[in-house]
Amino acid sequence: MLQIKKDLSQLSDPERAKNLSWFFKTGKGQYGEGDIFLGIPVPEQRKVAKRYIDLPLTDLQELLSSKIHEHRLTALLILVSKYQKADDAGKAEIFSFCLRNTENINNWDLVDLSAPRILGDYLIKKDRSILFKFAKSNDLWKRRIAVLSTFNFINKNDFEDALSIARLLLHDENDLIHKAVGWMLREIGKKDQETEERFLGKYCSQMPRTMLRYAIEKFDEKKRKSYLDQTTHKK
């Protein structure tokens, strides 16, 4: 066993693990079905990740292939740190490594902490067709990766692909995608509210209610009500 696994095991908290299993929907038929938790707070995992920044990709592969959530999350924390310090070749290697491991980046917190910082950063000036492929995937987590990866583009006032992906996912059936797309649109609005409102003007009537609520969260009450009155969705 890797020493990092032993270190994480020593931090386990069964009662917290039980609560996290409920929070991350690990029951049969739920989005996190089968995920196993040790019950370790994320700040503690960050401390462990910092000690193992030099762990090679072969060992990180073992962590990412684990059924234990904290193993995968800590591996991704290490990967993000490695990526930020890497040269161009190193960044390309980590990007490819993440693409090979999308099946192991399989809960919303794992996606959210890694996709913008690795995939989103790497694709800033590169072909982004992989994100559109992911957005059309039947796999929930690939679709969420597609959305979250655009956050780095949005931060640089690059909205076109984010809005295109939002259009692709307007009729997605999963609540986790509704929330992610709404969050994406809200982030665009923080940078350029006019651009967000142009999009909403065309599509708000088609949007799931949860998606719309997330998108307009920062608007004043009158404007929020105006948009909500236009949607025909109850969710």
Q: So what's the pLDDT on residue 231?
A: 75
Residue of 103, 101, 48 whose CA lies nearest to 70: 48
Between CA 80 and CA 72 the distance in angstroms is: 12
Token pair listed for 174: 């999963």
Measure the CA–CA gap between 66 and 136, rounded to whole angstroms. 27
* Average pLDDT score over residue span 149-174: 97
- The pLDDT of residue 229 is 86
pLDDT at position 140 = 97
Angle at CA of residue 180, ends 174 and 69, nearest 5°: 80
- Residue ranges covered by each domain of the chain: 1-122, 126-235
pLDDT score of 235 more than 90: no
Average pLDDT over residues 8-27: 96
Tell me the average pLDDT across 53-64.
96
Same fold, 1-122 and 126-235: yes
Whether the pLDDT of residue 1 is over 80: the answer is no
The CATH code for residues 1-122 is 1.25.10.90
Rounded CA gap, 21 and 37, in Å?
6
What mean pLDDT do residues 66-82 have? 98
pLDDT at 232: 67
Among 1.10.260.40, 1.10.1060.10, 1.25.10.90, 3.30.360.10, what is the CATH number of 126-235?
1.25.10.90
Whether 29 has a pLDDT exceeding 80, the answer reads yes
* CA–CA dist 219, 182 (Å, integer): 13
| Mean pLDDT computed over 68-89 | 98
Does residue 15 carry a pLDDT above 80? Answer: yes
Average pLDDT over residues 135-149: 98
Tokens 């762990």, residue located: 55
Per-residue pLDDT tens over the stretch 182-234: 999 999 999 999 999 999 999 999 999 999 999 999 999 999 999 988 876 65
19-58 exposure pattern, b = at least 16 Cβ within 10 A, e = fewer: ebbeebebeeeebbeebebbbbeeeebeebbeebeebebe
In SS3 terms, the chain reads as CCHHHHHHHCCCCHHHHHHHHHHCCCCCCCCCCCCECCCCCHHHHHHHHHHCCCCCHHHHHHHHCCCEHHHHHHHHHHHHHHHHHCCHHHHHHHHHHHHHCHHHCCCHHHHHHHHHHHHHHHCCCCCCHHHHHHHCCCCHHHHHHHHHHCHHHHHCCCCHHHHHHHHHCCCCCCHHHHHHHHHHHHHHHHHCHHHHHHHHHHHHHHCCHHHHHHHCCCCCHHHHHHHHCCCCCCC
- Mean pLDDT (whole number) for 99-115: 97
Higher pLDDT, 1 or 50: 50
